[in-house]
């Protein structure tokens, strides 16, 4: 199985700041990586797929990048609505696997 190592598990930032979340795959997954946002009481929201392609409706302050097996989700100019939990997911092969999540909280 492809292990997804996500870091940090916890991140505190202020509105207006920029943050980055990392996800490292245990082997090559090409660019077959998605990022999701989780908020209480809401369905998980797909933000980015194919490593860097913004899903329709995802604000442009979100971006995704890849370097080999390392993937990064960057959120620029944080807004209050961005404070949530973020997960990465590889879909290069079954079983699908997720990172352990990053909780982004307001500092």
Partner 1 sequence: QIQLVQSGPELKKPGESVKISCKASGYTFTDYAMHWVKQAPGKGLKWMGWINTYTGKPTYADDFKGRFVFSLEASASTANLQISNLKNEDTATYFCARYRTGTTVANWFAYWGQGTLVTVSS
Residues of this chain that interact with partner 1 (CB under 8 A) are: 6, 32, 34, 36, 41-46, 49, 55, 87, 89, 91-101
Token code pair at residue 71: 């993937």
Tell me the two tokens of residue 52. 């860097």
19 vs 36 by CB, closer to partner 1 = 36
CB closer to partner 1, 43 vs 80: 43
* Three-state secondary-structure class, residue 80: helix
Give min distance, CB of 59 to partner 1, in A: 17
What is the three-class DSSP state of 81?
Answer: helix
State both tokens at 33: 């990586």
- In whole angstroms, how close is the CB of 14 to partner 1 at the nearest point? 25
CB of 21 to partner 1, least distance (A): 13
Please tell me whether residue 4 adopts helix, strand or coil conformation.
strand
Q: How far apart are CA 55 and CA 50, in angstroms?
A: 10
Nearest residue (CB) to partner 1, 19 versus 33: 33
For partner 1, give the closer residue by CB, 77 or 100: 100
CB of 32 to partner 1, least distance (A): 7
Closest by CA to 31, choosing from 1, 4, 66, is 66
């Amino acid at each position: 199985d492809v292990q997804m190592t996500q870091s940090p598990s916890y991140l505190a930032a202020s509105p207006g700041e920029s943050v980055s979340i990392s996800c490292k795959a245990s082997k090559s997954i090409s660019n077959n990586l998605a990022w999701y946002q989780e908020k209480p009481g809401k369905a998980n929201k797909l933000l980015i797929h194919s490593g860097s392609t913004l899903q329709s409706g995802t604000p442009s302050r979100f971006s995704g990048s890849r370097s080999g097996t390392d993937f990064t989700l960057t959120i620029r100019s944080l807004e209050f609505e961005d404070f949530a939990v973020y997960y990465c997911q590889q879909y290069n092969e079954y079983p699908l696997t997720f990172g352990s999540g990053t909780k982004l909280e307001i500092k």
